[in-house]
């Protein structure tokens, strides 16, 4: 179902090519203005790629990843005033999108909330003030400070950049002696392909390592009121790099625990005065209850929007866009089935063969199999979501059936490297 949008009535700040492809059936021709960093436009060939997407009317260059002067942008590009909605396409565009929406008098997260959820340290401080359960944490400037923190916590800790997504730079430390060697990977993490060449400034947060199963909560919020909530079960790679390897919607948790997660996520949104949009928070269920991991003021990645659309039989992206237009869309409160995604993780090396795709597609319940590597490609160690090799998407009557189908299909696929 296409949204009723006229020319230039939607602005996306930050080009997520995967998300743009999802919008291909939702958006009328010429309805989207894409705002992107000038050097990113050039490096990624976005002007050419945009011409292949009929719903994009034009690409506007603007520096936003290290701060956006929204008023100056509107003065330079007065045509932006025709917009009815503004959305962030990337984690690094959340603040810029919120400022541009506010400048145009349109619904959005709100600049303050956007800034809080774009900085993991500020998010921790907010959660602590709101009485939510945090691990112990500290903002540190050196490996020595992080090592001392680890020693105070049984020799274990988490190192994470204050401003990155997709597990970039996140490392689980189980021996204080590992901190010095791991430091550079967090203090100067890999730059994602969508990042500006100016660099994304970040600090280093060290946190207590919490044991337990990880889940995420997705809230759809309209003018400060939660109108939809979902809990997702997550599977995470063991070892130093906690990269997500799979998700299932809805959760298989008991109802009381599900409600507890929805409650703490709602309290976090309220504490930040988050206004309108989607809030995607991550939690670990530990002995003390839900412990906050982190939170993003944008659509979730890793296929979670697709999983929700399948499990709840709704167009979740359409509902999200309607909230940003100031509407209150009807989204089913309960799922009618379940959906799961399992990510493909190839061993490091040069890909020499890929087998089992046909068998994977024949597994009952499988909806999609996508391979992101080909013979001849070089695969490196999986230290972030950028380094996964594809995915399998599956449906099931309940969470167990969906998870099983996705897992069985993934097992059929063999990516051989040398």
The 3-state secondary structure of 271-316, one letter per residue: HCCCCCEEEEEEEEEECCEEEEEEEECCCCCCCHHHHHHHHCCCCH
Taking each helix axis from N to C end, the angle separating 255-271 and 120-129, rounded to the nearest 10 degrees, works out to 100
Whole-number Å distance between alpha carbons of 402 and 392? 11
User: For residue 160, which of 384, 4, 314 has the smallest C-alpha distance?
Assistant: 384
Whole-number Å distance between alpha carbons of 17 and 25? 14
| CATH number given to 136-207 | 3.30.1490.20
Domain boundaries, the chain: 10-106, 118-129+210-336, 136-207, 338-418
DSSP string, 351-400: EEEEE-HHHHHTSTTEEEEEE---TT-EE----SGGG--EEEEEEESSHH
What per-residue confidence (pLDDT) applies to 21?
78
Query: Domain 118-129+210-336 class?
Result: alpha beta
Whole-number Å distance between alpha carbons of 173 and 385? 19
Q: Average pLDDT across each block of 10 residues of the chain; the chain has 418 residues. List them in order.
A: 85 87 82 96 93 94 95 97 96 97 98 97 97 97 97 97 89 96 92 86 95 96 97 94 95 97 98 98 92 96 95 94 94 96 97 97 98 96 92 98 98 97
What per-residue confidence (pLDDT) applies to 1?
55
What per-residue confidence (pLDDT) applies to 206?
98
What per-residue confidence (pLDDT) applies to 79?
96
Whole-number Å distance between alpha carbons of 325 and 60? 21
Domain 338-418 has CATH 3.90.1170.50: yes
First to last CA, the chain: 46
Contacts of 97 (CB under 8 A, 6+ apart): 11, 13, 14, 86, 87, 88, 108, 109, 114
Architecture in CATH of 10-106: 3-Layer(aba) Sandwich (3.40)
pTM for the structure as a whole: 0.94
The upper half-sphere exposure of residue 375, i.e. CA atoms within 13 Å in the direction of its Cβ, equals: 4
What per-residue confidence (pLDDT) applies to 19?
80
- Cα-trace Rg, the chain: 21
User: For residue 90, which of 194, 203, 170 has the smallest C-alpha distance?
Assistant: 194
What per-residue confidence (pLDDT) applies to 24?
74
The alpha carbon of 18 is separated from its chain's Cα centroid by a whole number of angstroms, namely: 12
- Answer whether 10-106 and 338-418 agree in fold: no
């Amino acid at each position: 179902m296409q949204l009723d949008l006229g020319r230039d009535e939607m602005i996306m700040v930050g080009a997520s090519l995967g998300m743009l492809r999802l919008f291909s059936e939702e958006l009328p021709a010429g309805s989207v203005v894409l705002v992107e960093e000038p050097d990113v436009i050039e490096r990624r060939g976005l002007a050419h790629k945009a011409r292949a997407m009929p719903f994009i009317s034009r690409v506007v260059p603007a520096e936003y990843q290290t701060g956006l002067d929204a008023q100056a942008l509107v003065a330079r590009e007065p045509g932006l005033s025709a917009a009815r909605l503004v959305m962030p396409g990337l984690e690094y565009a959340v603040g810029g999108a919120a400022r541009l929406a506010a400048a145009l008098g349109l619904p959005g997260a709100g600049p303050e909330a956007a800034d809080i959820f774009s900085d993991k340290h500020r998010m921790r401080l907010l959660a602590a003030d709101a009485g939510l359960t945090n691990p112990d944490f500290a903002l540190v400037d050196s490996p020595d400070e992080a090592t001392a923190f680890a020693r105070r916590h049984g020799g274990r800790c988490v190192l994470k950049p204050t401003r990155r997504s997709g597990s970039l730079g996140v490392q689980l430390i189980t021996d204080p002696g590992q901190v010095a060697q791991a430091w550079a990977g967090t203090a100067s993490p890999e730059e994602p392909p969508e990042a500006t060449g100016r660099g994304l400034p970040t600090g280093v947060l060290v946190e207590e390592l919490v044991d337990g199963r990880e889940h995420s909560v997705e809230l759809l919020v309209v003018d400060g009121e939660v109108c939809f909530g979902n809990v997702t079960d997550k599977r995470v790679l063991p070892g130093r790099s906690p990269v997500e390897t799979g998700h299932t919607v809805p959760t298989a948790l008991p109802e009381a625990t599900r409600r507890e997660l929805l409650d703490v996520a709602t309290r976090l949104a309220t504490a930040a005065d988050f206004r309108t949009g989607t809030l995607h928070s991550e939690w670990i269920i530990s002995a003390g209850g839900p412990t906050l991991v982190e939170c993003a003021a944008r659509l979730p990645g890793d296929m979670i929007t697709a999983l929700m659309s399948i499990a709840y039989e709704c167009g979740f992206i359409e509902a999200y866009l309607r909230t940003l237009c100031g509407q209150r869309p009807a989204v089913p409160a309960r799922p009618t089935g379940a959906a799961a995604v399992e990510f493909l993780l190839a061993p490091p090396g040069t890909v020499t063969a890929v087998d089992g795709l046909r068998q994977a597609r024949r597994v009952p319940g499988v909806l999609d199999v996508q391979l992101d590597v080909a013979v001849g490609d070089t695969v490196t160690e999986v230290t972030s979501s950028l380094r996964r090799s594809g995915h399998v998407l599956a449906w099931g009557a309940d969470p167990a059936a969906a998870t099983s189908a996705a897992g069985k299909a993934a097992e059929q696929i063999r990516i051989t490297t040398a």
